[in-house]
Structure 1
Amino acid sequence: MAGQDADVATTSRQSERKVILASSLGTVFEWYDFYLYGLLATIISAQFFSGVNETTGFIFALAAFAAGFAVRPFGALVFGRIGDLVGRKYTFLVTMGLMGLSTFLVGVLPSYAAVGVAAPILLVLLRLVQGLALGGEYGGAATYVAEHAPEGKRGLFTSFIQTTATLGLFAALLVVIATRFLVGEAAFAAWGWRIPFLISVILLGVSLWIRLQLEESPVFRRMKEEGTTSKAPLTEAFGRWSNLKWVLVALLGAVAGQAVVWYTGQFYALFFLEKTLKIDGATANILIAIALALGTPFFIVFGWLSDRIGRKPIILLGCALAALTYFPAFQMLTAAGNPAMAAAQARAAVTVTADPGVCSFQFDPVGKNKFERTGCDIAKAALAKAGVSYDSVTRERITGAPAHVRIGTRELVAPEPWRLAEEARGDAAEAFRRELSAATGEAGYPAAADPDAIDKPRVVAILFWLVLLVTMVYGPIAALLVELFPSRIRYSAMSLPYHIGNGWFGGFLPTTAFAMVAATGNIYYGLWYPIGVALLTLVVGLLFLPETFRRSIH
């Protein structure tokens, strides 16, 4: 009898491991696909948008950038409904197939030079499919694993799903780095960038084969047998206040803060290293990859801990620590990653004095706008592009008065395009940019970070702290969302707030933060966005979010 019990226990553990492995591997694959575009956006933009006029190119590049994030909540609605009606297993098989196929097709998509304007249109359409697929994948995988997990272990089991986004980014980074190394930068820019997209078809085949071995979730099977599945999950989840209020609490009291901490700790940190601190892309990728490798096990640690002390305190503590430490952490990152820039900021502060009424709000997520309407625009755009932090000084409105840029004790006057003949405006703006570049160089502002001066251990330590905050807020979130909603509408109800939070609050964070930096000139000003959202989540979560870790989900 004891031997039979041991055999049953062994079989049960093997089944649990299979569920976790198959669900996690498939979700890693989907995140890998989704992040490739972000990592290769500059090269893809050159391949698909360079042939159109500047305005059209800007619109296409912005659409391709935003599409994958913007449609994720709609994917959550479409596939969440199917998951609650048809089942968890088959729904996330469909989403995986869509993601894999669309990613592979990006790798074979002809460039603008080959097929003209059809190329960017097709790319945007494939990004839309990717976003829809990802919107349906996460909720299905998290629900499926949670509904297989024993009582008291849901945080631990679902934490493996939480590692998948970081592992997907990590895998994409490794493949991109390896391909660049093997084929060389010139070949990679010309054709080698396609390789990471093409090999995704192998990952698709392996992941589909493993997931096909799985059975339907026991909770969904029981609902089917008892006839208790929802006939209209979307109406039930979002049309009834008794359920909708928990969707709103989940979004504002948990997911929004989790999302901005996640994107700040991984994507915005990478953006800051490359674009602001001017660390070369390969080095920045390697530093982030090391921090991710060190931090990833803590998703599981905090998932396990949430089974002991609860989901809510860990998530809200992560939001509080993020709000408290982001400014000092990124300031330390500047000192460690580009000490020459930090020294120049302290020694030769930069100010732009102008009438604010003639300065544009420099929203330029894909680098297509030139901002040459006024001298203020020209000066601020040049400083923002160079990653030079500056303070804006408001001057009394004087019609036609030019903008002044002070660098330490030196002062430059920006050209006013309206004063010049149209054919001379471009040359004047370019001459000023050269003069400004020379002045910032003389003041000690480096054009690029010195690789030998980077304090790599210190940079990795700071990045590890940022990733650790990510693991605190993200490790327990899947278990909390699953436990918050009844099983008959769980797939739909948990997927929508998750993807609004991560697709919109989080996905647009780098763009929003950089727009705030460009508008103010302060390279740290964009951090107010994630800090503000994290504090909102802290307040709403403390007041309204229930603790769920002792709930039964059956």
Structure 2
Amino acid sequence: MTKSDTHSYRKVAVAACFGTFLEWYDFLTFATLAVIFGPLFFPSSDPNTALLASLATFGVGMVVRPLGAAFFGSLGDRIGRKPVFMITISLMGFATVSVGFLPTYADIGIWAAVLLVGLRLLQGLSAGGEIGGSAVYLTEHAGNESRGFKTSFLQLMGPLGILVSTIQVALLRLYLSDEQFQSWGWRVPFWISLLLLIIAFWIRSSLEETPVFLELSKKGAKVESQLVNNFKDPEIRKRMFLLFFCVSSSGAILFFCVQVYTAIFLKTSAQLPSGLVDQLSIYATLILFPLTIFAGWLSDQIGRKPVVISGLVFGAAFIYPAFEILQMLSTEYLQSGQYSFVVKIGMVLTALSLPLALVIGPQTALLAELFPAKSRNSAATLSHNLAAGWIGGLLPLIVTALNQWSGNSVAGLWYPTVFLGCGAVIALLYLPETRKNNLNQ
């Protein structure tokens, strides 16, 4: 790659990553504030019921992601990757800023919850077109060398979105009283997204279409409904399933276990102070960054398949005992007040970050490499968002509900454990190696 090509790719990478960061920041700020939204929008005499309602609203946004993926993914195969990016970023920004101005249940009653769910649906639709499509866009610009390393940076945008929103909430809690935070402080992260939206829109307007799509356009290879053709082709259909089950679903399960559910678990079941949990979440996210880049680089050296399978096996073996250990350490800390137990909790969170990094590090490249160019955007985007929406997005709700049903604060963790184990077996048997695939074919 020449200096000119390197500069061009860096420009594309920065623009794509910033836009994806905004999508994740907008989408995951809701998760960061899930515990706050319960009493504000779903008041109940039972705190568990309010929490479940809040998590269900978060899940609703994930469930509709496949609809956005089906529409915007197919549109991306027909009109190009760039125009779709401009549409999705605008929709996400509008929905997120609007959440910051919503009246609460105390103001307008049940309509507050209805409006919140409606905006969450709009967030989900736009995220469906962005997350997955951005992976295709960046990978098609990356060329055929070191794709795992160069595209792994996109996977940092989800954790970075969590990190920024968590830091904001931590600072707001530090400088505002509880009454001020409950009254208006929780709205600030949503207001800030307006500024981020303006920056992202300006940056994305300078993006160029991918060379792969431009080549397809010259050949006249576009079709009216490539999404339908994907399901007619047995090989593409098989690869869509493998991406859905072994890579994207498993990555989403690990992501929401490590980056979303751990904070909810430590604040509710383990009853650690919110400020301490926010600090631990920041630490775990920072640890994830170098691990993810290393996993992307490693997949260029030894292949995508062994790296992903290693993450699945490690995740299946460690998730359940990790949360039992977190529960035990939290209890010991609350009883003794010794900071050494907090350090040990941080070590457990570091260990949880490793399987996540091994799966998501090569994921961006895999999304594109599994499919031929003419069907890539629709096939990859739909499979990825089905997984992230229906499997990963509902994980906090399902795990919390199973915990409450069983009366055991960690019983629900058997769900991700079994899923990851099955994903590892299927990946070992059927997932193809893709690191040397030519993206122009």
Query: TM-score band, normalised by the shorter chain?
Result: over 0.9
Task: Give the 5 Å matches for 1:116-265.
Answer: 116-265=109-258
Identity %: 37
2:403 to 510, 517, 524: 517
Larger fraction in helix = 2
The match for 2:304 is: 311
Residue deviations 1:160-182, cap 9 Å, x none? 11111111111110111112222
Alignment partners' CA distance in 1, 2:176 and 2:50: 28
Change beyond 3 A, Cα 1:543–1:286: same
Structure 1 unaligned regions, length at least 5: 1-7, 341-447
Alignment partners' CA distance in 2, 1:191 and 1:219: 47
Between 78-87 and 40-49, the greater mean CA deviation after superposition: 40-49
Contact 2:52–2:401 (CA under 8 A) maintained in structure 1: no
Change beyond 3 A, Cα 1:331–1:53: closer
Contact 1:261–1:469 (CA under 8 A) maintained in structure 2: yes
How far is 1:294 from its partner? 1.8
Contact 1:306–1:476 (CA under 8 A) maintained in structure 2: yes
How far is 1:454 from its partner? 6.0
How far is 1:18 from its partner? 0.7
Contact 1:310–1:547 (CA under 8 A) maintained in structure 2: yes
Q: Tell whether 2:92 aligns with 1:99.
A: yes
Larger Rg computed on CA atoms: 1
Q: What SS does structure 1 have at the residue aligned with 2:100?
A: helix
1:473 to 355, 359, 369: 359
Alignment partners' CA distance in 1, 2:52 and 2:268: 22
The match for 2:422 is: 536
RMSD, aligned α-carbons: 2.2
Change beyond 3 A, Cα 1:63–1:496: same
Q: Tell whether 2:71 aligns with 1:78.
A: yes
Counterpart residue type for residue 312 of structure 1: K
Residue deviations 1:191-217, cap 9 Å, x none? 111111001000111111111111111
Change beyond 3 A, Cα 1:133–1:450: farther
Change beyond 3 A, Cα 1:186–1:135: same
Change beyond 3 A, Cα 1:271–1:118: closer
Change beyond 3 A, Cα 1:339–1:154: same
How far is 1:222 from its partner? 1.0
The match for 2:387 is: 501
Alignment partners' CA distance in 2, 1:288 and 1:235: 41
Task: Give the 5 Å matches for 1:398-409.
Answer: none
1:36 to 11, 15, 29: 29
Alignment partners' CA distance in 2, 1:295 and 1:243: 32
TM-score (norm 2): 0.94
Change beyond 3 A, Cα 1:195–1:35: same
How far is 1:51 from its partner? 9.1
The match for 1:288 is: 281
Change beyond 3 A, Cα 1:548–1:58: closer
Alignment partners' CA distance in 1, 2:335 and 2:391: 31
Paired residues, number:
439
How far is 1:450 from its partner? 5.9
How far is 1:59 from its partner? 9.7
Q: Tell whether 2:387 aligns with 1:486.
A: no
Q: What SS does structure 1 have at the residue aligned with 2:131?
A: helix
Contact 1:258–1:315 (CA under 8 A) maintained in structure 2: no
Contact 1:279–1:451 (CA under 8 A) maintained in structure 2: no
Residue deviations 1:18-61, cap 9 Å, x none? 1111101111111111111111123223333339999x989975
Counterpart residue type for residue 71 of structure 1: V
Contact 2:132–2:367 (CA under 8 A) maintained in structure 1: no
How far is 1:543 from its partner? 1.1
Residue deviations 1:36-89, cap 9 Å, x none? 1111123223333339999x9899756523211110111110110111111111
